[in-house]
Amino acid sequence: MNAFEITGGIKLKGEITPQGAKNEALQILSAVLLTEEKVTISNIPDIKDVNKLIELLGDLGVKVERINKDTYTFEAKNIDLNFFESDTFKAKGGGLRGSIMIVGPLLARFGKAAIPKPGGDKIGRRRLDTHFIGFEKLGAKFVYDSKKAFFNVDATNLQGAYILLDEASVTGTANIVMAAVLAKGTTTIYNAACEPYLQQLCKMLNRMGAKISGIGSNLLTIEGVTVLGGTEHRMLPDMIEIGSFIGMAAMTESEITIKNVCYDELGVIPEVFRKLGIKLERRGDDIYVPSQKHYEIDTFIDGSILTIADSPWPGFTPDLLSIVLVVATQAKGNVLIHQKMFESRLFFVDKLIDMGAQIILCDPHRATVNGIDKKYKLRGISMTSPDIRAGVSLLIAALSAEGKSTIYNIEQIERGYQDIDTRLRALGAQIKRVNADAPSH
């Protein structure tokens, strides 16, 4: 296992370019299964989760060619449906969250699919009901084998339907959309998720010949077509990486320019960091964050303590709340962080408290941060990364802290952040990759 050794307290400086979006990539890559024609995809991040999905597509029979560092072509002409029965599929399919999204396209094109209960972060219950209830509404039958933790889905004839989702699930909406594009008749999905990931997916499907309207809203209408063709698609920059870099700059008093961010697609993200008092400027399509000694958290208009909470798009993404939390520890003022979606994502605050941060974990969903206005620095410690975003938050804390920190289990971070140590070293960070297991206690 690998770990990062970080010597903190060093100001960073320079430019950094965000990778392509991880969560978009997982949807877009699954969509290549919808056509036997060639699909060319660029700005694919070179990260563990995405590479695992590409490998899985290859195992299923998709012809995968790497054109350059971030561009691949995919041709799903000869799909091997027997692969579902193999032990390899059981092992690899369960290795990441995104693998669940191969079900919709396989169902649409071949009338059957199977998937082991998918992996991803252990951040609380992560139900898949939305996906399977949606498939059922389209006429599919599914069986969940709880002993093997395996879902089998069959549908000889998918039929368009009205589907009111009980929650705006991101991967659930993507899965149902991909099943519905080749169903007979019209499907309406209300309370659909509409994150940029999904907007990108729907735009790509339309370029392939699908008929989806309402893109960007929570009401999607999909007129089924009989066949889809090839296309080209470029992934947006990863908005979670962009937010992470804004937070990192503020915590480490660094002057950083984040290049080519597709600013108009960032929704409320820049505004939420501004509410923490962080100065950031839009310069063309870049974000410039000046070096700031102090930043002060806003209050609500009536003077009461600010709450930052997650909600489905266009609300604030839950994937940036851990970053906001860590950045608030060094701000002036107080904030209540309310993680509404996931119930085990805030436990990592223990490590920040060990580093000297003033945080009260009110319950599994809420933490109050008492920002210390940099009166003292956090101190470096050894810690283990519990999930991808907590991992990066701890990395940011370590970069700002006095002394040395070691972060174990960095495979979690590398699930979603490409060459992060190399890219941070280019900004002047002292971060070293070492081979070390987390101490067992």
Ligand X SMILES: CC(=O)N[C@H]1[C@@H](OP(=O)(O)OP(=O)(O)OC[C@H]2O[C@@H](n3ccc(=O)[nH]c3=O)[C@H](O)[C@@H]2O)O[C@H](CO)[C@@H](O)[C@@H]1O
Ligand Y SMILES: C=C(OP(=O)(O)O)C(=O)O
- Residues found near ligand Y in the complex (CB under 6 A): 22-23, 49, 97, 120-121, 319, 388-389, 416
Shortest distance, CB of residue 220 to ligand Y, whole angstroms?
A: 21
Of 121, 238, 310, 387, which is the active-site residue? 121
Q: Does 171 bind ligand X (CB under 6 A)?
A: yes
Could you tell me whether strands 231-234 and 38-42 are parallel, antiparallel, or unpaired per DSSP bridges? parallel
Please say which residue, 119 or 160, places its beta carbon nearer to ligand X. Answer: 119
Shortest distance, CB of residue 114 to ligand Y, whole angstroms?
A: 20
- # binding residues, ligand X (CB under 6 A): 19
Q: Give strand pairing partners of 327.
A: none
Q: 10 Å Cβ neighbour count for 61?
A: 16
Kindly give, in sequence order, each residue whose CB lies less than 8 Å from that of residue 97, ignoring residues fewer than 6 positions away: 26, 49, 118, 119, 120, 121, 126, 171
169 binds, among ligand X, ligand Y, none (CB under 5 to 8 A by kind): ligand X
Going by C-alpha positions, the residue among 43, 417, 409 that lies closest to residue 248 is 417
First to last CA, the chain: 17
Q: Does 319 bind ligand X (CB under 6 A)?
A: yes
Q: Please pick, from the candidates 270, 312, 371, 380, the single residue that binds ligand X as defined by CB under 6 A.
A: 312
Q: In what order do the strands lie in the sheet with 430-435?
A: 382-384, 404-408, 2-7, 430-435
| Known catalytic membership, residue 129 | no
Please say which residue, 138 or 170, places its beta carbon nearer to ligand Y. Answer: 170
What distance in Å separates the CA atoms of residue 436 and residue 50, rounded to the nearest whole number? 25
Candidate ranges 179-187, 208-216, 301-309, 313-321; the one touching ligand X (CB under 6 A): 313-321
Q: Does 341 bind ligand X (CB under 6 A)?
A: yes
Q: How far is CA 440 from the centre of its chain?
A: 29
Candidate ranges 5-13, 165-173, 301-309, 323-331; the one touching ligand X (CB under 6 A): 165-173
425 is in an annotated binding site: no
282 is in an annotated binding site: no
The sign of the dihedral angle between the CA atoms of 82, 30, 54, 79 is positive
Candidate ranges 59-67, 166-174, 211-219, 430-438; the one touching ligand X (CB under 6 A): 166-174
Residue appearing with tokens 């089924």: 224
Residues that bind ligand X (CB under 6 A): 23, 26, 97-98, 126-127, 167-172, 193, 312, 317-319, 341-342
Active site residues: 121
